[in-house]
Chain A
Amino acid sequence: GQQVMQIPQYQHVQEGEDFTTYCNSSTTLSNIQWYKQRPGGHPVFLIQLVKSGEVKKQKRLTFQFGEAKKNSSLHITATQTTDVGTYFCAGVAYNQGGKLIFGQGTELSVKP
């Protein structure tokens, strides 16, 4: 079945450093979504990417969708303590019945 792998599992950075999490799918995706879950909270939608090679920015966050639509990345520039949480990618493969499959998540901690 479809698998969505996300790396790294954990990332500890000093405030001000950059952070990147990568998402890879075993099959081609129709779209990919990114969510953030704060400690003790629930996942909150960040963005959706649909087009091959698409790049979207939200302030210090940059999201990319690979040309082959099998991978994606989230890059945070100059992390802040408010960025702490777990970042999940979630993708839907073609011909998989529309199930949204989540990656394992990357837990980001930021040291002030």
Chain B
Amino acid sequence: KAGVTQTPRYLIKTRGQQVTLSCSPISGHRSVSWYQQTPGQGLQFLFEYFSETQRNKGNFPGRFSGRQFSNSRSEMNVSTLELGDSALYLCASSLAQRSTDTQYFGPGTRLTVL
């Protein structure tokens, strides 16, 4: 079974631009969560989607948004990029309805904001 895939793997943007990241979960997984990982802050929860509905949200500004499609694929969008948005963005999928189930992480998208 293929793992979680994320595209693109690397991205360089400038301040003020916007970016869209994509995540394809493991086949059959209906929950997709997004995390921001930085050296100083560790893994910060962004949001979680289940059956196209946002089920949980972390403490990030409204510039960070996401959505999930009927095939469970998810996208994350960051508008008006800031230097501090440079990070590794990880997507994780899980099988069942409970958001506490095992998270299967993708390789991440490394975003650099110049």
A interface residue numbers (CB < 8 A to B): 1, 30-31, 33, 35, 41-45, 48, 88, 90, 92, 97-105
Contact yes or no, A98 B90, CB < 8 A: no
Interface of B is mostly: strand
A30→B33 CA distance, assembly (Å) = 19
Contact yes or no, B90 A45, CB < 8 A: no
10 additional contacts, CB 8 Å, given A31-B100, A33-B102, A42-B107?
A1-B59, A33-B100, A35-B103, A42-B108, A43-B90, A44-B105, A45-B102, A45-B103, A100-B99, A104-B41
Q: For the side of the interface on B, what is the size category?
A: 20 to 34
Q: Which residues of A contact B58 (CB under 8 A)?
A: 99
Q: Which residues of B contact A105 (CB under 8 A)?
A: 42-43
